[in-house]
Amino acid sequence: MNMSAAPISVDDRERWVAVCTRDKLATQQIVCATIAGVGMLIIQDGEKVVACERVCPHEQADLSRGNVTDGRIHCPHHRASFSLTTGHVSAGWSIRPLRRFHVRLDEGKVWIDTQASTCDEGRE
């Protein structure tokens, strides 16, 4: 997962989209956003800010209704959990990892890379 504090250049402005302010994450651990029709979650996980898809890869539950503990997001429907670092699903599940998106912090905002997502294969 790429979380950079490097400034975003003018050339990057079409690639990176501001999705919320850092202040909003200070008061709300999970923020929902939609970019190009894709539902995403922006999550404050301790000192880190991460972004992932909003829909659970299992049966499409809304992960914004789940909870985050110890670097994992827990699905509210069947309780699978996904690493916010790798996307890997918890043991016992045979579903793909959670897609995550590159994040940058700049100008007091959280920016998401719209042209790349990460999706590591494998399970824990």
Q: How far apart are CA 75 and CA 66, in angstroms?
A: 5
Joined together, the tokens standing for residue 103 give 């994040």
Question: Applying CB under 6 A, which of residues 22, 77, 109, 123 lies at the interface with ligand FES?
Answer: 77
If binding is defined by CB under 6 A, does position 61 make contact with ligand FES? yes
Question: Applying CB under 6 A, which of residues 21, 78, 107, 119 lies at the interface with ligand FES?
Answer: 78
Using the minimum distance from each CB to ligand FES, give the nearer residue, 13 or 78: 78
If binding is defined by CB under 6 A, does position 56 make contact with ligand FES? yes
CB of 23 to ligand FES, least distance (A): 30
Burial class of residue 93, CB neighbours in 10 A (0-12, 13-18, 19+): middle
Number of residues that bind ligand FES (CB under 6 A): 8
Q: How far apart are CA 118 and CA 98, in angstroms?
A: 9
Question: Applying CB under 6 A, which of residues 59, 69, 107, 119 lies at the interface with ligand FES?
Answer: 59
CB of 50 to ligand FES, least distance (A): 18
Longest CA–CA span in the chain (Å) reads 45
- Who's near 118: CB < 8 A, 6+ residues apart? 1, 87, 99, 100, 101, 102
Residues that bind ligand FES (CB under 6 A): 56, 58-59, 61, 75, 77-78, 80
